Structure 1
Amino acid sequence: MVVHSVNFRELTGPGGHRSVHDVLELRNLSKRYGRVLAVDDVTCAVRPGRVTGFLGPNGAGKSTTMRMVLGLDRPSAGQVLVNGARYRDLRDPLRHVGALLEGSQAHGGRSAYQHLRWLARSNRVPTARVHELLGHVGLGDVAHQRVGGYSLGMRQRLGIAAALLGDPPVLLFDEPTNGLDPAGVRWLRETLRSFAAEGRTVLVSSHLISEIELTADHLLVLARGRLLADAPLEEFRGTEALEDAFLRLVSGR
């Protein structure tokens, strides 16, 4: 089954309201696992209207930080606020924050349609949105097939659809290009930039520095749990390639 790339620019949703207040704020955020300080007093704001790239070496604390945003891990200190509220206090959270963490978490025995329909019903999202999104991520022809038979790229597209289901103003993506072919990577890049142009708040974590260089407007760099940089991409790299500037910073040279 060939899954085609698609354009999200014409996609409509149940919401549509964008606000300059749709900001993701981390305030003195820390997370400790025993003696290990995974995230160390991080304070920053991810703002709407731009794609913010989240960079760091393995073990930097990026995934832990994103999990704390979604309430999957509890901070040891500090807090995370989405538009001034904690994630756990949000009603119908998929309408406020969409996230792709470690790909789609759909049960392998369910179809893509069943998975999205369950999420839609639990967040008061119209069923019509499910059909619309499955078509727009290129899964319309396989919507009723079991997810267990999907390729990694198809699972990734399903995860992206789940993140977009509530038409949220805040979007978090952790390694979103996993499993996507070159056309899919370009499609995703254009999609993320179009979302930022609509006024959404977009945070993308990736080890693919070259892709972040093509996608992001702003950078957050984390290493050893500490925030080392919070700056526009062009300001951060200066006259260097982004990879060189990043490696120099995290190595301390």
Structure 2
Amino acid sequence: MIEVRNLTKYYGQQLAVDGLTFDIRPGLVTGFLGPNGAGKSTTLRMMLGLDRPDAGSVSLDGRRYEDCPDPLRRIGALLDAGAVHGGRTAYHHLLWLAQTNGIDRGRVDEVIEVVGLGAAASRRAGGFSLGMSQRLGVAAALLGDPEILLFDEPVNGLDPEGILWIRNLLKGFAEEGRTVFVSSHLMSEMALTADHLIVIGRGRLLADVGMAEFVAEHDSLEDAFLQLTSRSVEYRSGGVES
């Protein structure tokens, strides 16, 4: 379970995240939807203690991320697929993560196979395509076999086969009872992947709704998404009060 309460973040005078409050329940794929610049990545960074909120809090299974004694065993995250030492092989990138977190090295081989990088395990990560880097990032998130998984735009750089793979992977983890939170700016992808939606625009919560309910209420999901996000622009300009 992830509990977000009144989460707020400023960068100088710019309000990036505006009092967000929502829960992410286990057993579902929850989509975190919003246009580029909506505040999704900033929210995820605050969840993981990488940015400090100006107000509010995030609880991951009852505690802050920075208070977890064994974080990789509790929360797996992919925020930036490029955050890898380019001189290390895929295997050794995962091995040092495992060793610094008390994870058996046998788990490295397991996750390499899960993400389909067996043939590339001995290649240096600096030569990977974006799609391969995404797969390596997913492997790192899975190393500790965590109950909570956070992914920021995981389909970026993946081919159609890879998109289907990540979609099924996320659904499989949710079916196991894990908490799965995945951000995207693509309504079409979320419609095929998510069970529940958290929609934000300009850092503000616009919708917290089940996917089935959202689909039933709108003829066109893309139009509904555009209408929701346009409300956030009107709100910031003083045109909407809610």
Q: How many residues align?
A: 231
The residue matched to 1:108 in structure 2 has which SS? coil
Distance 1:37 1:136 in 2: 39
For normalisation by structure 1, the TM-score amounts to: 0.89
Aligned pairs (5 A) from 1:28-67: 28-67=6-45
The residue matched to 2:208 in structure 1 has which SS? strand
Is 1:194 matched with 2:167?
no
Distance 1:73 1:134 in 2: 30
Q: What root-mean-square deviation, in Å, do the aligned CA atoms of Structure 1 and Structure 2 show?
A: 1.1
Distance apart, 1:171 and its partner CA: 0.5
Q: Could you say which residue in structure 1 is the equivalent of 2:239?
A: none
Distance 1:158 1:210 in 2: 25
The residue matched to 2:198 in structure 1 has which SS? strand
Query: For residues 158-202 of structure 1, what are the alpha-carbon distances to aligned partners after superposition, in whole Å with 9 as ceiling and x for unaligned?
Result: 000001110111101111011111011101101100100000111
The residue matched to 1:231 in structure 2 has which SS? strand
Distance 1:62 1:212 in 2: 14
Query: For residues 66-92 of structure 1, what are the alpha-carbon distances to aligned partners after superposition, in whole Å with 9 as ceiling and x for unaligned?
Result: 000010000001111101101000011
Distance 1:87 1:63 in 2: 16
Structure 2 residue runs without a partner (length 5+): 235-242
Aligned pairs (5 A) from 1:1-253: 23-237=1-215, 238-252=217-231
Residues 218 and 224, structure 2, Cα contact 8 Å, conserved in 1: no
For normalisation by structure 2, the TM-score amounts to: 0.93
Q: Could you say which residue in structure 2 is the equivalent of 1:11?
A: none
Aligned AA for 1:24? I
Residues 104 and 158, structure 1, Cα contact 8 Å, conserved in 2: no
Moved over 2 A (4+): none
Structure 1 residue runs without a partner (length 5+): 1-22
Distance apart, 1:104 and its partner CA: 4.3
Distance 2:165 2:189 in 1: 12
Q: Could you say which residue in structure 2 is the equivalent of 1:6?
A: none
Residues 156 and 178, structure 1, Cα contact 8 Å, conserved in 2: yes
Distance 2:47 2:56 in 1: 11
